[in-house]
Structure 1
Amino acid sequence: MRGSAGVRSVARILARDDGRGGTSLPVLESDGPLALRRTRSTGTGARVMLVGAMSGPLGGDHFTVEARVEEGARLSLGSAAATIALPGQAKGEARYDVRLDVADGGELHWLPEQLISAHGSDLYVATRVELAATARLVLREEQVLGRTGEEPGRLTSRLTVRVADRVVLDQELACGPGAPGGWDGPAVLAGHRAVGQLVVVRPEFATEPVTARALGEGASLVPLAGPAALVTAVAPDALRLRRLLDEALTSLA
């Protein structure tokens, strides 16, 4: 149940090479609104879905997802439905922390569904990724400002990615009421209501970096200062945003 201070919920996943060409999950723990379910996967990796057991995050809630991929293991982690940030009875912002850690030779795909900032909500999302030198990553973030026909709440999102203890990406975007001026202007969202990014880390990018280029209207690809590439995209709606990011990932295959 939610109290006056909001709900605290933590989900933990540990993926490990099982020694037989597959991936085991010795740790798969969750509580409160965050429920974890292992689902059928293809190949040698494991696949886990986050299933929302309650609405939220609401004001005052604090959700945390922690995933560790050990050497040689492969994990795909997603969500069963969009996450909707809502206003709540508790005062103060809600928080959603995502902490991802991948060892050498490990591979992680973090592909949640969209995060929707509903009117009146206030959410801070912090995603921190630690990768070893030969780790692989595909990370997708999608934010939708407001449900159909409504103004958004306040949404602040920070993403930090480190490879071999070196920062390759550290950026923050704040949108909605009370955010610094200009977030909806031509230099940032230009009136769009869906924004997303795709981070791809591969060891081969260290010697063969991607070429910076536009990826159709609303999306661009740039190399990062390390074995990584970043796609950023804006779109009028969630469907168009997903299409842009899917096409970008296909172009990097």
Structure 2
Amino acid sequence: MGHLRSFMDGIGLFLQGLRWVARNPRWWLFGLIPALIVSVLYMVGLYFLGTNAGDIAEWATPFASGWGEAARNALRALLGLVIFGAGLVLSVVTFTAVTLIVGDPFYEKLSEKVEETYGEVPSGYELPLWKSIPRSIKDSLITLGYVLLFTIPLFFLGFVPVVGQTVVPVLGALVSGFFLTVELTTLAMERRGMARKSRFALLRRNKAVALGFGVLIFLLFLIPLGAVVAMPAAVAGGAIMVRTRLAPVA
């Protein structure tokens, strides 16, 4: 029951972030800008991948040229679907990290404004932009490595009958949700001088809360344009989570 309650608390923290941006629509619009830019780039990339998946599959299977037409076409159609599916999964798991990097000044300011409503904003650990962006990129790449370590096997397990349609989607949502929380709490934790290893350790100790927060966001991000609309609320919720639950003492 304790874990379930904490999981529900995580969901509640996102809803608090949603309420915050609903009460401050100017900041919601402010937070939409980077998410919208990255979303357009991702949609263009996915469109290109979708329209060329067949050609990529054909290029990758020269050995099938001598096969019968039916077998050759079936193999390349399946591989084309796998290629596009992999691109879609990768876009979901990287969207938050890329958006936070592109929109670092936007989301840093949004996160600070959220914390201001709860009292004094922690200070003394701020880095200049030319240092913070490379560090954010490095941390995001490390996090992406962890994500891929889990999601690549899960992606291929998704083709296993029964298991791929039941267990795998749940595990995928849990893994992606946890690492979304890692990304979305980074700004507020860095404001407290917490390095990457410390941030990971803190979230592992509060895994149920992190999962409740991140899984809901992951599901929202699967909805077309959901990632764009929900991103400011997710950043606000991450700041509230750190402020009130993970590291309440500044």
> Do both proteins adopt the same fold according to a TM-score greater than 0.5, normalized to the shorter chain?
no
**Higher helix fraction (1 or 2):** 2
Flag the structure with larger Rg. 2
Identify the structure with the greater strand proportion: 1
Q: Which has the higher contact order (CA 8 A, sep 6+)?
A: 2
